[in-house]
Amino acid sequence: MNRSGNQLFDRYFTQTAMREVFSDQGRVQGLLDFEAALARAQATVGAIPAEVVGDIAAACDAALYDFDALAVAIGDAGDAGDAAMPLVRALRTQVNSRNPGAGRYVHVGANSQDAMDSGLVLQLRSAVALLEQTMANLGEALAQQAQRHANLPMAGRIGLQQATPITLGAKIAGWLGAVTRHRQRLKELKPRLLCVQFGGTSGSLAALGDMAFPIAEALAKELKLNLPDQPWHTQRDRLVEFATLLGLIAGSLGKIGRDVSLLMQTETGEVFEPPAAGEGNASNPSHTRNPLGATVMIAAATRAPGLVATLLSAMPQEHERSPGLWHAEWETLPELCCLVSGSLQQALAVIPGLEVDAARMKHNLGLTQGRAQAEAVSTALSGRIGRDAADQLIEQCCRLAVEQSQPLRAVLGAEPAVSTQLSAQALDNLLEPAHYLGQSRRWVKRAVADHQAFSLR
Render pLDDT for 302-324 as a digit per residue (tens, 0 to 9).
999 999 999 999 999 999 988 88
Q: 305 and 379: one domain?
A: no
Query: Which parts of the chain register pLDDT below 70?
Result: 1-6, 77-81, 277-288
Cα–Cα distance measured from residue 160 to residue 157, given in angstroms and rounded to the nearest whole number: 5
Cα–Cα distance measured from residue 154 to residue 165, given in angstroms and rounded to the nearest whole number: 6
Last residue of a domain, one of 331, 362, 393: 362
Q: 291 and 411: one domain?
A: no
Q: 238 and 375: one domain?
A: no
Cα–Cα distance measured from residue 347 to residue 254, given in angstroms and rounded to the nearest whole number: 9
- Domain-embedded: residue 444: no
CATH number at residue 381: 1.10.40.30
Assess contact for 172 and 271: CB atoms under 8 A.
no
Q: 99 and 214: one domain?
A: yes
Cα–Cα distance measured from residue 64 to residue 409, given in angstroms and rounded to the nearest whole number: 78
Q: 351 and 426: one domain?
A: no
- Domain-embedded: residue 454: no
pLDDT of residue 290: 87
Instruction: Write the CB contacts of 398 (distance below 8 Å, at least 6 apart in sequence).
Output: 371, 374, 408, 411
- Domain-embedded: residue 131: yes
Assess contact for 214 and 45: CB atoms under 8 A.
yes
pLDDT of residue 12: 80
Q: 332 and 307: one domain?
A: yes
Assess contact for 165 and 155: CB atoms under 8 A.
yes
Last residue of a domain, one of 362, 392, 419: 362
Number of domains in the chain: 2
Which has the closest alpha carbon to 372: 439, 432, 421?
Answer: 432
Assess contact for 344 and 300: CB atoms under 8 A.
no
Range of the domain at 412: 371-430
Total-model pTM = 0.93
Q: 249 and 397: one domain?
A: no
Cα–Cα distance measured from residue 114 to residue 240, given in angstroms and rounded to the nearest whole number: 18
- Domain-embedded: residue 5: no
Q: 350 and 378: one domain?
A: no
- Domain-embedded: residue 15: yes
- Domain-embedded: residue 448: no
Which has the closest alpha carbon to 198: 188, 208, 210?
Answer: 208
pLDDT of residue 2: 43
Q: 117 and 257: one domain?
A: yes
- Domain-embedded: residue 442: no
Question: How would you classify the pairing of strands 153-158 and 161-167?
Answer: antiparallel
Question: How would you classify the pairing of strands 355-356 and 271-272?
Answer: antiparallel
pLDDT of residue 287: 57
Q: 189 and 213: one domain?
A: yes
Burial class (CB in 10 A: 0-12, 13-18, 19+), 456: exposed
The phi, psi pair for 433, rounded to 5°, reads -55, -35
The phi, psi pair for 211, rounded to 5°, reads -85, -5
- Domain-embedded: residue 274: yes
Q: What is the 3-state secondary structure (H, E, C) of 348-413?
A: HHHHHHCEECHHHHHHHHCCCCCHHHHHHHHHHHHHHHCHHHHHHHHHHHHHHHHHCCCCHHHHHH
Q: 358 and 381: one domain?
A: no
CATH number at residue 302: 1.20.200.10
Last residue of a domain, one of 313, 332, 362: 362
Q: 354 and 319: one domain?
A: yes
